[in-house]
Amino acid sequence: MYIHKEGYKIITLTVLLAIIILSVMNYFIDSWNWYWYSLAALIIIIAFIVIRFFRIPKRELVHNEDQVIGSADGTIVVVERVYEPEVLKTECIQISTFMSPNNVHVNRYPVSGKIIYTNYHNGKYLIAKHPKSSTLNERTTICIETDKGKKIVVRQIAGALARRIVCYAKVDQQVHQGEELGFIKFGSRVDVFIPLESNVHVELEDKVKGGLSVLATL
Q: Residues 71, 96, 188, 213: which is the catalytic one?
A: 188
- Looking at the structure, tell me whether residues 192 and 142 fall in a common domain: yes
The residues with which 121 forms a beta bridge, in sequence order, are 139
- Whether the CB-CB separation of 74 and 99 falls below 8 Å is answered with yes
In a domain, 62, yes or no: no
- Whether the CB-CB separation of 114 and 170 falls below 8 Å is answered with no
3-state secondary structure of 85: coil
Instruction: Kindly report the pTM of this predicted structure.
Output: 0.84
- Looking at the structure, tell me whether residues 73 and 45 fall in a common domain: no
The residues with which 144 forms a beta bridge, in sequence order, are 115, 152
Q: 179-182: list long-range contacts, CB under 8 Å, 24+ apart.
A: 179/108, 179/109, 180/106, 180/107, 180/108, 181/71, 181/107, 181/108, 181/109, 181/142, 181/154, 181/156, 182/106, 182/107, 182/140, 182/156
Total domains in the chain come to 2
- Looking at the structure, tell me whether residues 92 and 189 fall in a common domain: yes
- Looking at the structure, tell me whether residues 90 and 185 fall in a common domain: yes
50: domain range? 2-56
- Looking at the structure, tell me whether residues 71 and 162 fall in a common domain: yes
> How many Cα neighbours within 13 Å face the side chain of 172?
0
* pLDDT mean over 84-92: 93
pLDDT of residue 166: 87
- Looking at the structure, tell me whether residues 24 and 113 fall in a common domain: no
* pLDDT mean over 111-139: 77
In a domain, 101, yes or no: yes
- Looking at the structure, tell me whether residues 34 and 71 fall in a common domain: no
Is the sign of the CA dihedral 206, 218, 147, 144 positive or negative?
A: negative
Average per-residue pLDDT for the chain = 88
A 10 A CB-CB count for 43 gives 17
Using CA atoms, how far apart are residues 56 and 46, in angstroms rounded to an integer?
19
Closest CA to 154 of 174, 126, 182, 123: 182
Using CA atoms, how far apart are residues 155 and 32, in angstroms rounded to an integer?
50
3-state secondary structure of 117: strand
pLDDT of residue 130: 60
CATH code, domain carrying 103: 2.70.70
In a domain, 84, yes or no: yes
DSSP state of 124: B
Closest CA to 195 of 151, 135, 143, 147: 151
pLDDT of residue 3: 84
- Looking at the structure, tell me whether residues 152 and 191 fall in a common domain: yes
- Looking at the structure, tell me whether residues 87 and 193 fall in a common domain: yes
Question: Which pLDDT tens digit goes with each residue over 26-42?
Answer: 888 888 999 999 999 99
31 is catalytic: no
- Looking at the structure, tell me whether residues 101 and 19 fall in a common domain: no
In a domain, 61, yes or no: no
Closest CA to 169 of 185, 153, 180: 180
- Looking at the structure, tell me whether residues 169 and 110 fall in a common domain: yes
- Looking at the structure, tell me whether residues 33 and 129 fall in a common domain: no
Using CA atoms, how far apart are residues 159 and 172, in angstroms rounded to an integer?
29
Q: How confident is the model at residue 138 (pLDDT cuts 50, 70, 90)?
A: confident
